[in-house]
Structure formats: structure tokens, C-alpha cells
Amino acid sequence: MINPTEIKKDFPILNRQKNGKPLCYLDNAATTQKPRQVIEAITHFYETSNANIHRGIYDISEEATKMYEETRTTVQKFINAASPTEIIFTRNTTESINLIAYTWGEKYIQKGDEIIISILEHHSNLIPWQVLAKKKGAILKFIPIKKTLTLDLEKYKELLSKKTKLVSITGMSNALGTINPIKEITKEAKKFGAHVFIDAAQISAHQKIDVQKINCDFLAFSSHKMIGPTGVGILYAKQSILKKIPPFLYGGSMMTSVTLEETEFAKPPQKFEAGTPSIAEVVAFKSAIDYLEKLGFENIQKHEKELYKYAIQELSKIPNINLITPPEDKSGPVITFTIKDIHPHDIAEVLNSENIAIRAGKHCTDPLHKLLNLMATARLSFYIYNDKTDIDRTVKALKKCIKIFT
Amino acid sequence: MDLYSEIILDHYKNPHNKGNLKNPTCKANENNPQCGDTLAIELIIEKNKVKEVAFTGAGCAISQAATSMLTDHLKGKNITQIKNIKPEDIYKMLGIEISPGRTKCALLGLSTTQKAISNYKNAKK
């Protein structure tokens, strides 16, 4: 079982005080805080092994290369990919999605082809496909949501056809917390021979992922949303696909031989990792995965569910609050809401005065907010170090907010 | 300093010059895509001076209060004076410290007003 009081001690930033109150961090869907173990891994790398990778014939370079590649193997096992060569390090989930749009998309999407995404998508899983579709004369289609704020899977099945070349779906909505049935969605897409991209930026922090069980072709997530450093994105792609697609960026490290006229590209994953990557951050990402696996994803989920239930129960008592949440069993640890006649920015500002960090705005999901007829919303998102005290403080601050504005 | 001072809350809850004008000389709309705030400003200009001003829109307390205060300030001012209003003047009116994240909210009224004034000048050309 998870003990958030003990976990809090591992996260130095949570000691940060404002007017004698410690930081209550509830914006985990944006980014997570980092434990001492991850921070120390970065420091340790720079103090003992810093060198560029895949080139130096000297101890520290070989050591740095080994550590960098160890994270690749750790990630492979973490998501149960068939081979470490299916793991590509990028800067973030956005770059991972763009990598596939610019390589696989450029090569295989043709005029009249159809790409299906959902209305729940973060802009990063919308804009790359929108731009690609415009460029190619392809058609972008959207899975709608039901009143329950979950995907309408019947409508999804109706959208699928032989024209469908790609289905790109988030595992969990960053705006509403809705968890999507990615395995089922993939299975349906495969009936029509479509490729499937899973945006796992949110879900990877909360659920164990098994790419072989899901049977998706591509999956992307970011280290920073799961207590790892910023600057590290992961792209998983099936080996058979990686062999067929062109490089994304050109330059150092991604080739085997170069003349003034021609370049022979390296094999995946190096082919897709041009230039010096975020070496220290990739190395430290292993410590983040180790930390989460030690806690265990079953325990993480149990803790989040318990906290979610408590938060919903307490928030529901606030007058004039409008909770914009899917059914409990289909939601991750995200609670989005509005309060009548108080702008979400003002809510966030009052909470900030109590040293509580939440998100206010449209959460990079403008079309979803437009559909729901919401100018903006406030969002709480929890993680392993949050506890009931954090919820109690938030509820108290929301009551203060209502007092100020009414 | 308290961001939500009494004067800001008063302007937010009871905004001045909120509504529409009959036959405005010029108008402009703006929005703040980050937070979804919307604002429309209408002006009646006579002899190069603001005779009437009104605004509509929805947004946070800072953007609404700043616009309410600004519209009071605009009355009787000539076009050059309006063009010369600086962000600092708005912060001074609000009387609070504006963090970088809220500058857009504080200045939405000003940018919309100045856009309306340029619309007026362009129409006259």
C-alpha cells in the first residue's frame, strides 16, 4: 500500500513553503515533481560519467553509452516491447507524434485516406494529423463523446472503413481524465488494416502498459509526466514499420557512412536519434521507472482511486460547483470543474495564495471546451505524493474563493 | 498585496459601462485564447474625443475589473491620449502587482480599445 506521507519526503520541492504552508501540487497532468532519486541520478551522471555517447573510445563515454542504453532496455521491459530497437528517445510526446506524422505519415498517407482521432485529444495529437491531412488531401474524422464524457464506441465503429489508414487516440484525456479502452479501439481498427497510434502521455503514469497486448503500431509518452526529467520523450514503434520509414531529423549519430554525395542511414533506433540527445535525463529516467515499479502500479492505482473518491465526495459538497467528470470507473486521477460565476483563473489565483497549484484554462483542448460550451475550466490532477490533506486544503481554499467572489 | 482588493472586486461584481451603445463610431473585439476571455468595446467619438464607451464580454476578475476601470478613464479623453495609455497606467489603476501570467488579462481592455481606435482612424482615411 502507498503511504503518501513517506513518499512526500522523497520529493524535495514539496517542502517549499509560502506563508508557512507547504506546496500542495495538484497539476500532475501537466508535469510531475521529481524525487530525490531522480535528481541525484542526474547529478551523479554529471559528476561521474558525463561524456557524449556512441562515439568515444574512453571510459566515461563507454560508461555514458551503457547507462543511456540501459534506460532503453528498461523502457522496453516497462512497456513490454519486443525489442529495445523499438524504443526511440525524443524530446517529448509531441515530438514522438510529429516524428511519425513526418515520416510514416508522409510516406503512407494518400489523398482520400482517412485518419480517425477523438474529440478528447490534446492539441499535440490533433494538430500534426490536421496538418498532414491538409497537405495530403486526407480526411480527418473525430470519435465523438457521449453524455458520460466517454468515447462513443458505436460511432467509432461506424467511422471505420477500408479508407481508415490511422487511428490515433489518447489512453487518458488530460482535460477530463477519461480513460479510453485502447485495446478494444486497436482491435477494431485492425479489422480494417488501419495503423494505431496511442498517445500514452497521461496513462503511462497511472497504468502498466503492454504494447504487445494492446497490439498498437505506435505509442508515445513523456518521462516528465511520470516523475522523470523533462526533455525525454519515448516513441515505441513496431520494428517492421521502423525499417520501412525514412529518418525524421538528419545529422550526427543517425548514419553509418557519409560522402559528399550520399549518406547511408543507421539502423533503428539510431536512425531516428540525430544529434546529441538529453543523455543525463535519459539516464535518470531509469531511476523514475525503478521508483514507480517499486511502488507498483496496482498500488498506485489503488491510492489514486481512493483519493479520487474522497475528492469527489468532498468537492460535491461545495455549492455551485459543476464537476465535469466521466463515471468513476472510467476516470484517471483528474477532476475538472467550474464554479458558477467565478472564472477558473480566479479560482487558480486564490488557490495559489494558499500555495496550492492547479491548472486553469483549456488544457490544450480547445475543440473539446468549445463542444462542451465551456470558456475555461479548473483542473485538479493527483499523483502518488498527494493525500487527503491536499484535498482538504483545496476544498477549504475553494470555499474561501466563493466567499471572495460572491 | 491582495490581488482581489475591494476595489477590483467591486468593479468585477458591478462593472461600469457594461452593455452596448446605439450607433457606435467604432468598435473592436479581442479574446485571450489561453483562458478563453472575450471582450468587445464600443466607442462614440465626437470632435476627436470619447463621448461614450461600453463593453461586453466574459472573463476573469482581473480582465473585467481592468476594463471597467479603463472605460471610466476613457471618457473625455482625445485619441492621442488614448493611444498613449501604457500598460503601467493600467497596473496603476488596478493598484496591485500583476504577475507575468496575468498581464494579458490586465491588458485585454487596453489592447481592444486601441484596436477600436485604429479601426476608427483607418475608417476615416
pLDDT per residue as tens digits for the range A366-406: 999 999 999 999 999 999 999 999 999 999 999 999 999 98
Query: CB neighbours (10 Å) of residue A187?
Result: 13
Instruction: Please report how many Cα atoms fall inside a 13 Å half-sphere around the Cα of residue B1, on the Cβ side.
Output: 11
Most A CBs within 10 A among B4, B10, B67, hence the mutation to make, goes to B4
Print the SS3 string covering A125-175.
HCHHHHHHHHHHCCEEEEECECCCCCECHHHHHHHCCCCEEEEEEECECCC
CB A115 within 8 A of CB A160: no
Q: Could you tell me which residues come within 8 angstroms of residue A34 by beta carbon, excluding any fewer than 6 positions away?
A: A11, A13, A227, A228, A229, A288
Res. A272: pLDDT tops 80: yes
Contact A361/B at CB under 8 A: yes
Picking from B61, B29, B59, the residue whose alpha carbon sits closest to that of residue B42 is B29
pLDDT number for residue B80: 93
pLDDT band at A53 (very low <50, low <70, confident <90, very high): very high
CA distance A120 to chain B (A): 18
* Record: contact A343-B4, CB cut-off 8 A: no
The mean-pLDDT minimum among A53-57, A63-67, A310-314, B58-62 falls in A53-57
Residue ranges covered by each domain of chain A? 4-30+296-405, 39-293
Asked whether residue B16 is domain-assigned, the answer is yes
* Record: contact B35-A345, CB cut-off 8 A: yes
Res. B35: pLDDT tops 80: no
The mean-pLDDT minimum among A264-273, B18-27, B31-40 falls in B31-40
pLDDT band at B25 (very low <50, low <70, confident <90, very high): very high
pLDDT per residue as tens digits for the range A105-146: 999 999 999 999 999 999 999 999 999 999 999 999 999 999
Res. A327: pLDDT tops 70: yes
The mean-pLDDT minimum among A185-199, A222-236, A251-265, B34-48 falls in B34-48
What percent of chain A has pLDDT above 90? Answer: 98
CB B94 within 8 A of CB B106: yes
Question: What spatial distance separates the first Cα and last Cα of chain A, rounded to whole Å?
Answer: 42
- The partner residue sitting opposite A346, judged by closest CB among B34, B58, B60, is B60
pLDDT band at B65 (very low <50, low <70, confident <90, very high): very high
Could you give phi then psi for residue A293, rounded to 5 degrees? Answer: -70, -30
Angle of helix A297-315 versus helix A279-295 axis, rounded to 10:
80
Q: In one letter, which amino acid is A286?
A: K
* Record: contact B35-A350, CB cut-off 8 A: no
CATH number at residue B32: 3.90.1010.10
- The partner residue sitting opposite A346, judged by closest CB among B36, B38, B61, is B61
Separation of alpha carbons B115 and B124, rounded Å: 14
Query: CB neighbours (10 Å) of residue A318?
Result: 15
pLDDT number for residue B33: 77
List CB contacts (< 8 A) between A349 and chain B. 3-4, 60, 102
pLDDT number for residue A44: 98
Can you read off the three cell numbers belonging to residue A217? 503500431
Query: How many domains would you assign to chain B?
Result: 1
Mean pLDDT of A272-287: 98
pLDDT number for residue B98: 87
List CB contacts (< 8 A) between A344 and chain B. 35, 60
CATH top class, domain A39-293? alpha beta
Picking from B116, B115, B113, the residue whose alpha carbon sits closest to that of residue B66 is B113
* Record: contact B3-A353, CB cut-off 8 A: yes
Domain that holds residue B82: 6-124
CA distance B45 to chain A (A): 32
pLDDT number for residue B37: 87
Query: CB neighbours (10 Å) of residue A257?
Result: 9
pLDDT per residue as tens digits for the range B66-76: 999 999 999 99
Can you read off the three cell numbers belonging to residue B65? 475589473
CB A167 within 8 A of CB A161: no
pLDDT per residue as tens digits for the range A88-111: 999 999 999 999 999 999 999 999
CB A126 within 8 A of CB A142: no
Q: Domain A4-30+296-405 adopts which CATH fold? A: Aspartate Aminotransferase, domain 1 (3.90.1150)
* Record: contact A362-B36, CB cut-off 8 A: yes
Picking from B125, B94, B112, B104, the residue whose alpha carbon sits closest to that of residue B4 is B94
pLDDT number for residue A397: 97
DSSP A190-210: HTTT-EEEEE-TTGGGTS---
* Record: contact A343-B60, CB cut-off 8 A: yes
pLDDT per residue as tens digits for the range A291-319: 999 999 999 999 999 999 999 999 999 99
Can you read off the three cell numbers belonging to residue B16? 461600469
Separation of alpha carbons A293 and A165, rounded Å: 35
pLDDT per residue as tens digits for the range A7-40: 999 999 999 999 999 999 999 999 999 999 999 9
Q: In what order do the strands lie in the sheet with A377-381?
A: A321-323, A334-339, A377-381, A359-361
Can you read off the three cell numbers belonging to residue A351? 488557490
CB A180 within 8 A of CB A216: no
List CB contacts (< 8 A) between A346 and chain B. 4, 60-62
- Give the Cα-Cα-Cα angle B30, B33, B37 (nearest 5 degrees): 60
In this structure, the strands spanning A334-339 and A377-381 are antiparallel
Can you read off the three cell numbers belonging to residue A129? 494529423
User: What amino acid positions of A are annotated as catalytic residues?
Assistant: 364
Q: What is the pTM of this model?
A: 0.94
pLDDT number for residue B122: 82
* Record: contact A360-B38, CB cut-off 8 A: no
Asked whether residue B1 is domain-assigned, the answer is no
Query: CB neighbours (10 Å) of residue A218?
Result: 25
| Mean pLDDT rounded to a whole number for chain B | 91
- The partner residue sitting opposite B36, judged by closest CB among A349, A350, A376, is A376
pLDDT number for residue A148: 98
pLDDT number for residue A55: 79
